[in-house]
Amino acid sequence: MNAELLIAFLASTAGAATPLILASLGELVTERSGVLNLGLEGMMLVGAVSGFAVTLGTGSMTLGLLAAMGAGLLMALIFGVLVLSLQTNQVATGLALTLFGIGLSAFIGHGLAGQTVAPLPHLHFPLLSDLPFVGPLLFRFDALVYASLLLVAGISWMLARSRLGLVIRAVGESPHSAHAIGFHVTGLRYGTVLFGGAMAGLGGAYMSLALTPMWVEGMTAGRGWIALAQVVFATWKPRGVLLGAYLFGGVTVLQFHGQGFGLAIPSEFLSMLPYLATIVVLVLICRNPQTILLNKPMSLGQNFKAD
């Protein structure tokens, strides 16, 4: 193993971590308001295909990313109308959203297979990017990698320190009390659900526009579910999402660098690692019921209807 290989490994870890951070952060905000959206995988897929299709059609990466966020938002709106207005079961509706998203994305993406776009450009900071070792490790990523880090900090601050964060947490802990004080629980939850959708769409688009700049049916391959699990590992705290995503990013890219590191294991087994790691970490976190009880939003998964 040499330094070059290690740098390549660490740098691609950031790429693999970014879609997980984006999707997890959105879901985290949704869950902090008490809503469990299991449709993450579906929203990511629809985001991925929409972003790719729009970028391919218009040539504009910005429009593509915006379209992906819009598509994720629309998907989340379906979920919101069903769960928040029509009071459907959150688990069943989330599963429906994922299954629908898988079908819809394959339908939209029919005919897009095999085409590629130029990937999201990497930034180049004068001087910094050219530094040996530190340059490729810290200063040569695309803008969304940095944006995802800023979002972790921003959402962390928002939830812990701002008035909006306080209201979101209040609604998530006890929608009835929040309603009694005069907060608009359903309206706020629409906001967090839509935010979660936009972030999932963006996370999906990162995969189809930056990681592997093409559309492949079902390309998220369970990332949405890993992102969901990550909210649990992170005990519903943004900085935990950051740690978890980089850990899983590393495990995910191990399959591409496994041979370089001298691992003589069939590639399928290396590809299993992110899923296995998810199970192992879930067990480690959940085996202590106190950890979950203390951190999980009290009303998570329960519907609220103002009388």
Partner 1 sequence: MSRLEPRPEPSRRMMLASPLIAALAMLLTGSVLFFFLGQEPLHAFYVYFIKPASSWYGVGELLLKATPLILCGIGLAIGFRANVANIGADGQLTMGAIAAGSVALYFDDVQAGWLLPLMLVAGALGGMAWAAIPALLRTRFNTSEILVSLMLVYIAYLYLSYLVHGPLRDPAGFNFPQSKMFNDAAMLPLLMEGLRTNAAFLIALLAVAGAWFFCSRTFAGYRMQVSGVAPAAALYAGFSEPRNVWAAFMISGALSGIAGVGEVAGPLGQLQPSVSPGYGFAAIIVAYVGRLHPLGVLLAALLMSLLYIGGEAAQIELQLPSAITGLFQGLLLFYLLAADLFIHYRFKPRHRAAPAALGENA
Chain residues that interact with partner 1, rule: CB under 8 A: 38, 42, 78, 82, 85-89, 91-93, 95-96, 99-104, 106-107, 109-111, 217, 221-222, 225-226, 228-229, 232, 266, 268-269, 271-272, 275-276, 278-279, 282-283, 286-287, 289, 292, 305
State in angstroms the smallest separation of the CB of 207 from partner 1.
16
Structure token digits, residue 152? 């972790």
CB nearer to partner 1: pick between 136 and 258: 258
Structure token digits, residue 119? 């990937």
- Alpha-carbon distance 26 to 29, whole Å? 5
> What does the CA dihedral 10, 12, 13, 15 come to, rounded to 10 degrees?
140
> What does the CA dihedral 16, 211, 227, 162 come to, rounded to 10 degrees?
90
State in angstroms the smallest separation of the CB of 290 from partner 1.
11
State in angstroms the smallest separation of the CB of 200 from partner 1.
16
CB nearer to partner 1: pick between 160 and 284: 284
C-beta neighbour count of 216 within 10 angstroms = 17
Cα 177 → chain centroid? 30
CB nearer to partner 1: pick between 14 and 28: 28
State in angstroms the smallest separation of the CB of 115 from partner 1.
16
State in angstroms the smallest separation of the CB of 82 from partner 1.
6
Contacts of 219 (CB under 8 A, 6+ apart): 45, 48, 207, 208, 212
Contacts of 185 (CB under 8 A, 6+ apart): 171, 175, 178, 179, 304, 306
CB nearer to partner 1: pick between 65 and 234: 234
Contact, 233 vs 255, CB < 8 A? no
Contact, 204 vs 45, CB < 8 A? yes
State in angstroms the smallest separation of the CB of 31 from partner 1.
13
Q: Collapse the DSSP code of 122 into the 3-class scheme (helix H, G, I; strand E, B; otherwise coil) and give the result.
A: strand
CB nearer to partner 1: pick between 136 and 175: 175
- Angle subtended by helix axes 61-80 and 185-206, to nearest 10: 140
State in angstroms the smallest separation of the CB of 217 from partner 1.
8
Contact, 22 vs 201, CB < 8 A? no
CB nearer to partner 1: pick between 132 and 289: 289
CB nearer to partner 1: pick between 99 and 153: 99
State in angstroms the smallest separation of the CB of 94 from partner 1.
9
- Alpha-carbon distance 240 to 235, whole Å? 7
CB nearer to partner 1: pick between 75 and 151: 75
User: Measured on CA atoms in the order 102, 104, 106, 109, is the torsion positive or negative?
Assistant: negative
CB nearer to partner 1: pick between 62 and 267: 267
State in angstroms the smallest separation of the CB of 7 from partner 1.
28
